Amino acid sequence: MSTIVAVHKGNRAVIASDSIFSQGSIKVSARSKVNHQKIFKVKDAYIGFTGWSAMISIFQDMMERYPQKLNFRTRQHVFKTFLFLHSKLKDVYFVETKERDNQPVESSQWDCLILTPTAIYSVQSYREVLEYYNYWAEGSGTSIALGALHATYGLYDDPEKIALAAIGAACEFDDGSDFPAQVYSLRWRGNK
């Protein structure tokens, strides 16, 4: 599992993640795993993944194959991007899209957080695209990280301090999260 957070405050925005990977009951730290990154730059956006690590490899391949199809400018663009990627998940990467017998739509098996210069989006496995005002968290440490984000947002002006406090709390109390943290920042241009 993982914890990924995104925060904007003032004219800066930050996305941060932990760096642990797990294989069943085995934890693989960043000291042992070369490709421990969970956040990737796509044009002027950053996208961080939680869940199955195979989905990261798939997304990296999609960045190379379909760069012109990756558009995160608005919530609707994000939705259309993941709708396109879903068709490739089935046809090219053979991803199992069924999670439950009574699910309303096929699952893309992706849970991710996207930070752009104007928005914070989360994308859930059924391609729900949600947009947030100041901060959000995804992954196994979501509840812990959200508590830390809420508690520190009014205390600090620096979004990196806020994000690192949330990742630190998740690494302390969530068994699916661990240090070191990865942090990326960009200039915030405000909501559209």
Q: What is the CATH number of the domain that holds 25?
A: 3.60.20.10
Query: Where do we find the tokens 């100041």?
Result: 134
Where in the sequence is the domain holding 135, given as residue range(s)? Answer: 3-187
The distance of Cα 57 from the centroid of its chain, to the nearest Å, equals: 14
Interacting residues of 172 by C-beta distance below 8 A, sequence separation 6+: 144
| Residue 192 falls inside a structural domain | no
For the chain, what is the domain count?
1
Q: Is the overall model pTM greater than 0.75, yes or no?
A: yes
| Residue 92 falls inside a structural domain | yes
Model confidence at 68, in pLDDT bands (50, 70, 90)? very high
pLDDT (0 to 100) of residue 159:
98
| Residue 37 falls inside a structural domain | yes
* C-beta of residue 50 within 8 angstroms of C-beta of residue 4: yes
